[in-house]
Each structure stands twice: as structure tokens, then as C-alpha cells.
Structure 1
Amino acid sequence: MTAPATTVTAWSSGRFRGFWYAQTISQFGDRITEIALPLLAVTMLAATPGEVGVLTALIWLPYLFGVFVGAWVDRRSDKRRLMIVADLLRAAVLVSLPAAYLFDLVTLPQLFAVAVLTGVGAVLFGMAYPSFFVSLVPSEAYVDANSKLSLSRAASFVAGPAVGGALVQVLTAPIALVADALSFVASAVLLRRIPEPAPPAEPPTATGSTARRIREGLTLLLRDRVLRAALGCTTTVNFCTFIANTLLILFASRELGLSAGAIGIAFGAGAFGGLAGAALAPRVTRMIGLGRTAIVGVILFPAPLVLMALADGPVTAKIALLAAAEFVSSVGVMLMDINLNALITKVTPDHARGRIAGAYSTVNYGIRPLGALIGGWLGTAIGLRPTLAVAGLAGVCAAFWLLASPVRRIASLESMGR
């Protein structure tokens, strides 16, 4: 008699649970900062749309150097230690804002410096993440693991904005940032408890100078049709959504006249879509295939920006419309992220994960500062509502990258034979 096949899930690895706990705590802290940092600039420092655009751009600016960081990280065997250092760096930087606030010394240049340094920590963490992730999860559980991590991220988008908005309203924005700093400390402690895995053996072709390793990472990324299509798609959609995201808090606060608490409620309620998307992603993927699910997500992610641009009427109607648009967008981003992340993890060679992640991030995340700056410029030049509508319509076009590639025909990771 043949024994029934055992389903392999992310929970099969006890080490993954510790990683999941660390990421979950950190995600909840991040949601508070995403509300508090721009509100601090807008309400306390009277930042203009252009200055808010610069602030957002600076957060993502360090990703332009991801290709160099990734090549360096590939040489290091202590990926977990690098992630811990990145967490502690971001905690220390964030604490500087409430400390300055207590002495009435908060300035826009300091806010810009905090944005850059937290971005540096995020780049370091992100380049070490792929190799550490694959050491915790078997390949057949990539979609399941990404679904669980995305479910936590979605849950943070539900509670985080509401909690963040309330904390900002009660404690002021700088003091609310302490919560995110503590979440990074907790993440570092949990990562410290996970044993450092043995690094995979590198083939001889991976040795050499940093410049050579960077070239190898870029070559591997651009020659693979799946990776190239995923890069083009995510870069396009990130560029367009960051044109809009830069202005969302400003739009909700000044154009719609909503309070910090109301903004938090609107985005928190809408984020239930992320929970739904993360929970349904594995099931939808099994029904219509990995590639098609990713394409649907790419379309649903930016399209609701057009709906946001139409928000008007009484306060309850504005909150409801923002929440509905955020709900659909959150479903879309989860369907896109979970499947594309699993796909990228599957096709990336083990020996080059750091440098490919670096090259990918340099392009994909490096475009975000440009999107943020253009968003600030367009918001000033043509107005906030038209900018949101243009960004949403242009973002939908990102799906063409996947439609014109092998991705649309991929049903599952197992069917790829890699």
C-alpha cells in the first residue's frame, strides 16, 4: 500500500516560524511610521507637495546602490547577522526623531536624513533576505511561505494605519515613531534566536571582483525571460503607484479635509483587502494558474487610484470611497507579490541570490524615488486628483510585460521543471 503524499508547508520548518514572528512585528511597526513620517512633515513642518515628494524619494534612494550591496552580501556567510544589524540601525535612527522633538529641534533636513538612513537599513536587510529565506523554506513551499508572510503584512495594513493615526493624534507623530523603533529591536532579538544556516557552495564562476559579480548579477537577471518580465512589470507598476502614493496622505489631509484618525480608519479598513488577497492567493493560483493570478493582481493593484481621485461628498462618503479603493488595491498587490516573489525565488540560482536581488532592487526600487519626485511635481503642476488618475491608468499597463512573456503560461512552480 502506498503511503499518502505529505504536503510540505512553510510551518514544516520551525526556524521559519521565528522568522515569521520577526517579520510580523516589524511590519506592524512600519505601518505606524508610514502614517507618522509624512504627517510629521505635513502638519508640524508645513511641507509642500514637492518636499513630501523629496521625503518619499529619499527613503528609496539607497536602493539605487542595491546592486553593489547585493554583490558584497553574496560574499558574506553571516546573512542573519547582517539582517540584525539592519534592524538595529533603523531602530536607532527612528529614535532620534522623538529625542529631537522633546527638545523642540525637529527639522525637515533631519527628517530627510532619517529617511535616507532607514532606507540604507532596508537595503542591507533586503539583500540578505533571499538567501536566508531559502535556507528556511523548501522550494515546494515558496508560495505557502510567501502567502503567510504576506498575510501578516496585510494584517499590519488593517490595524497599523488605524493605530498609527490614533497614536499620532494622541501622542504626536514623533513620539509615535518609538513604536516602530521597538518593533525593529524585537525583530533583531527574534532573528538572533534562529540558527545561522550553512551557506551554499558557490561555483567557481561566482568568484572574482565586485565589478565582475555585479556584471554577473545583471546578466543573469536580464537574460532570463521570466526574471526580465517580472522586473519590467514591477518596475512599471512601482513607478506609477509611487507617483500617487507620495501624495495620498497629502490628498486625504488637505484635499479631502480628513483628520489623522480618519485617514488611519480609511486605509486600515481598506487593508482588509490585503488579508483577503493573501489568504486567497494560493487557492486562486491553483484555480487559474500562477502566471494568470499575477497578471490579475498587477491590474487590480493600480486601477483603484482612479477611484480615489473621485472621492468627494460628506466625510463618511470620502472615508468609504478611500477604503473601497484601498481594499481592491490591497487584493491586487497580494495576488501580484505572492506569486511573483515565489516565481523569482524559484528561478534565481542559489549562488547568486544576493547580487540578483541587488540588481533587481536597484531597478525596481530605484525607480521609486523618480516616481515620488514626479508625483510631487505633477501634484503641484496639474493638481492632486488628476495626478492620481494618470498614475492609476498608466500603472495598469504594467500587465503587458507579463502578457508578452512565458509568465502568463506558467500554471505552477512544479510545472516549470527547474
Structure 2
Amino acid sequence: MTFHPSDAPSEDAGSVANQTPYSDMPIMGEALAHEDGQAPEPARTGSLWRDGNFLTMWSGQALAQLGSQIAELAIPTLAVILLNASELDVGFLNASAVAAFLLVGLPAGAWVDRMRKRHVMIVADAVRALALAVLPMLWFLGTLEMWHMFVVAAVVGIANVFFDVSYQSLVPSLVPATHIAEANGKLESTAQVAGIAGPAVGGWLVGLITAPFAILATVGTYVVSLVALIFTKDTEHLELRTEKGSLVSDIGEGLRWVFGNRYLKRIVATTAVSNFFSTLSFTLLPIFILRELGLSVANMGLIFSLAGVGGLLGAMSVKFIVARVGEARAILLGAIGFSVTAVLLPVAAMVPSVAFVLLVVQGFISSFTVLVYNITQVTFRQRITPRRLLGRMNASIRFVVWGVMPLSALLAGYLGTEFGVVATMWVGAFGQVVSSLFVVFGPFWATRELPATAEA
């Protein structure tokens, strides 16, 4: 399986349908608080396992992540097998799912910075649940067509934009600055556990009640996430602006913040290029697995699940890896890992007798290294960014690194139709190798630790 380098809502990597255990990393807590004009948060000792408020939010997200994984299997199965979708159809479906990051990604960040992020997430969960519920209803009535799936994917995609930007901006309002890394690690570890169990559960549900009704399980998990967020408390206080800037100026401030940092702009470049080319592969992956290789839906689910094991181990290994090589080199090694292993995907078509094994190995290593990359760079971003800019920072990055994906999905449909699925996989693999060059030739080799503040 092919993974994008960061969200999630772990960021910027994960699947097209959706996309952060380490703790006690040094975080610039007091500097961040003073920088935002807020009083420093009191230091809290102990683990987040004792924080009931965080656990409430975490439990809701854990179930929602499981539901997302079920939908990730059920939706392409519904399109490819039940609706007999073509390569072009799958390209449009994938493009619809992520088009919102290109179309509304930047203003979403500015809007989110003007709203309570937890409230935005609640509304987004409600929209996602209602939109997905339409698919099994139309299938039951015998009227479901591909264009319905395009519309639902687009609506869910818009909700995902607002949810994901708010999700990554909410953590500093839930836990003290010294626990941000631990919170990211726990949230991402849970996402990887869902990645292990979700595809297997999804494959079982698809076989038991068919793909359309398996989607109802995802609807239920989004409802649980919504309820958990209602009972979660946060410490966010909206900034009182004496001079409220325009939407355009707010967006510009977020972009300048991201691309004014020499580390962030290289991370963004690697992630964006990798996402563009991995989307070429991921878009056609269901057709590649189910038609080209002739594997079953259950096998596809198992490949996804075993890849999730790699992601979980990657999340659990981040603290050790960062301690051994440093933050900067952890990002570098992660990028090299997920880019180079992308080549195994088209190679699997050359040796169909061991294709299943190669897909498992590719997914496992790719997921492991993506998680090391994601957790490290997301924590770095959250650490150095003033709270008033968190939404715009995340949205600016998402606009670039996810905004390329709908274009890539459309290109995948065209290339798959004109030149074949396997040829498209080779193009995707080559591009992912190239993506790592932005950090390979950057300052990451010579630097062990990333800056603790915005300076530098």
C-alpha cells in the first residue's frame, strides 16, 4: 500500500480518504504562551493516562479512526466491484474526496482561527455522518450511481478540511505544552491501531453485509466522535482583535509564517511532491489489487492491516529514534524510507507469485517511516507556531501538500486509461523517490535538533 507523508488526521500522510508513543520531549511551553500574549500554563506532571478530559476526546477519535479505515475499504469496493468503476471513475472519486483542500484549504485556516476549534470539529462530524449515510440509503433504493459518490466524497472532503485543520490546532488547548508530543503520539498510535483493525473489520463487514451497509458502521463512529467532543473541555480563548484583518491578509500571514522557516519549507516541499506522486499510485490501488493482481477484498484488507502494524511500531519507536539520531535526522530518515520503498509497489506486478508479500513489506516499511516523519515534524510545527496562527499554519501546509492530490488523482485516471495501471504505478514510485531530495540536500544532515523557537 502507498502512504502519504503525513494526515490524519495525522497530517499530510495517510490515505486519500483520511490522514501523529513518545512523550516528554522538550517543548518550548512558556515561550509559546508569552508569545501569544497568554499567561503560561501551569506545569502538569504525570501521564495523559490520568487526564480524563484528554481521554474523552481521544476515545472518540479512536473509534472515528476505526470507522474511517472501514470506509476506506468499503467505498472503493463499492465503486470498483458493485458499480464497476473505470480507472477514470476512480480518479474522479479520489479527486472529489480531496478537492476541498485545494479549493477551500487556505480560507478554512483563517476561518478556523476565528472560531472555537472544538465546535468546528463537532459540526464537521455531523456533516460527515449525514453525507455518508446517503450512500447505503441510495443503494437500498436501487438508485446509487457514481455521480452520487462523487458528490458525497466532495461534501465529506470539505468537512474533513475543517475537521483536520481544527484537530491539529486543538491539541495545545487540551494539554500543557510539555505534553503536546505525548498527545500527538497517543493520537497517532491510536490511528495506527485503527489501521490494523479497521481494514480487517471492514473486509469482514463487506463480506457479511455488503460494502454499502458497512459504511453505516463509519457513520456510527462519527456520531460517537461528535458526542465525545461535546463532553470535552478545552482552554481555547479566541483572540480579541482591536483591528480585525481581512481574510486575505490573514491567509497571507499564515503562508509567510510557513515559507519563512527554512526547515518548514523543505518539509512542505518533500511532503507535497511525495503526496502528488503517491496519489497517482493510491488512486488506482484498488484496481491494481483487485483486478490487476486478482487478490480478494479480504487480502486487500489484510495488506492494509499489516501496514497498520508498521505504523503502530513507527509511532512507538519515535522517542527512541529521536533520542538516537535527533529530530532533524529522524525527519530525513523517515522521508528516505517511505520514498524508496514506493518502488516495491510496481515491482509486485512483475512477480505476481509474491505480490502479496511485496505489498505487505512495502506497506509496513512505508507506514513505519511515515509515522516517524509525521510525528516529529508535526510536533516541531506545533512547538514553534504561536497559537493564534495554528489554524492558518496547518491550513497553509495542508493547502500545498493536500491541494496537489485532486490534480494527481485526475492525472492517475487519465494515465491509467491511456497507459495502464502498472505504468502509472512506476511513475508514482519514481516521483516519490525524487521527493526526498528536498530534505536530503537540506540542513537536516548537519543538524541534530530542530530549533526550539520560531527563530532560525
2:230 is aligned with what amino acid? R
Distance 2:228 2:402 in 1: 27
C-alpha contact (below 8 Å) 2:44/2:176 kept by paired residues: no
Distance 1:301 1:180 in 2: 28
Question: Which residues of 2 match residues 1-400 of structure 1 at below 5 A?
Answer: 9-11=47-49, 13-64=51-102, 65-76=104-115, 78-199=116-237, 201=239, 207-311=244-348, 317-400=354-437
Distance 2:141 2:398 in 1: 37
C-alpha contact (below 8 Å) 2:131/2:152 kept by paired residues: yes
Range that drifts further, 375-384 or 11-20: 11-20
Distance 2:367 2:358 in 1: 14
1:66 is aligned with what amino acid? G
C-alpha distance 374-209 of structure 1, shift in aligned 2 (>3 A): same
Counterpart of 2:32 in structure 1 is none
- Give, in angstroms, the shift of residue 254 of structure 1: 0.4
Distance 2:447 2:219 in 1: 41
1:35 is aligned with what amino acid? L
What is the CA deviation profile of residues 249-282 of structure 1, one whole-angstrom value per residue up to 9, with x for unaligned ones?
A: 1100000111111211122123211111111111
The residue matched to 1:301 in structure 2 has which SS?
helix
Distance 2:376 2:52 in 1: 23
- Give, in angstroms, the shift of residue 317 of structure 1: 3.1
1:218 is aligned with what amino acid? L
Range that drifts further, 308-317 or 19-28: 308-317
Distance 1:347 1:93 in 2: 36
The residue matched to 2:339 in structure 1 has which SS?
coil
2:292 is aligned with what amino acid? E
The residue matched to 1:309 in structure 2 has which SS?
helix
Identity within the alignment, %: 34
2:84 is aligned with what amino acid? A
Distance 2:398 2:178 in 1: 24
Distance 1:29 1:302 in 2: 28
TM-score, scaled relative to structure 2: 0.85
RMSD of aligned C-alpha atoms? 2.2
Range that drifts further, 222-231 or 274-283: 222-231
Range that drifts further, 346-355 or 181-190: 346-355
2:72 is aligned with what amino acid? E
TM-score, scaled relative to structure 1: 0.92
- Give, in angstroms, the shift of residue 354 of structure 1: 1.4
Structure 1: gaps (5+ residues)? none
C-alpha contact (below 8 Å) 1:410/1:416 kept by paired residues: no
1:339 is aligned with what amino acid? T
Distance 2:254 2:444 in 1: 21
Distance 1:365 1:135 in 2: 25
The residue matched to 1:333 in structure 2 has which SS?
helix
C-alpha contact (below 8 Å) 1:60/1:369 kept by paired residues: yes
C-alpha contact (below 8 Å) 1:270/1:327 kept by paired residues: yes
C-alpha contact (below 8 Å) 2:88/2:417 kept by paired residues: yes
The residue matched to 2:142 in structure 1 has which SS?
coil
C-alpha distance 264-201 of structure 1, shift in aligned 2 (>3 A): same
- Give, in angstroms, the shift of residue 351 of structure 1: 1.1
- Give, in angstroms, the shift of residue 6 of structure 1: 8.7
Larger helix fraction of residues: 1
- Give, in angstroms, the shift of residue 417 of structure 1: 8.0
What is the CA deviation profile of residues 175-223 of structure 1, one whole-angstrom value per residue up to 9, with x for unaligned ones?
A: 0100111110000111111114231646767x31112111211222221
C-alpha distance 134-87 of structure 1, shift in aligned 2 (>3 A): same
1:74 is aligned with what amino acid? D
The residue matched to 2:153 in structure 1 has which SS?
helix
1:245 is aligned with what amino acid? F
C-alpha distance 10-88 of structure 1, shift in aligned 2 (>3 A): same
The residue matched to 2:237 in structure 1 has which SS?
coil
Structure 2: gaps (5+ residues)? 1-42
C-alpha contact (below 8 Å) 1:10/1:145 kept by paired residues: yes
Counterpart of 2:38 in structure 1 is none
Range that drifts further, 118-127 or 107-116: 118-127
The residue matched to 1:164 in structure 2 has which SS?
helix
Distance 2:242 2:269 in 1: 30
Distance 1:52 1:135 in 2: 39
- Give, in angstroms, the shift of residue 409 of structure 1: 4.7
What is the CA deviation profile of residues 92-131 of structure 1, one whole-angstrom value per residue up to 9, with x for unaligned ones?
A: 1111111111111111110001100110110111222233
C-alpha contact (below 8 Å) 1:298/1:336 kept by paired residues: yes
C-alpha distance 342-10 of structure 1, shift in aligned 2 (>3 A): farther
C-alpha distance 165-357 of structure 1, shift in aligned 2 (>3 A): same
C-alpha distance 308-404 of structure 1, shift in aligned 2 (>3 A): closer
Distance 2:255 2:451 in 1: 26
C-alpha contact (below 8 Å) 2:174/2:233 kept by paired residues: no
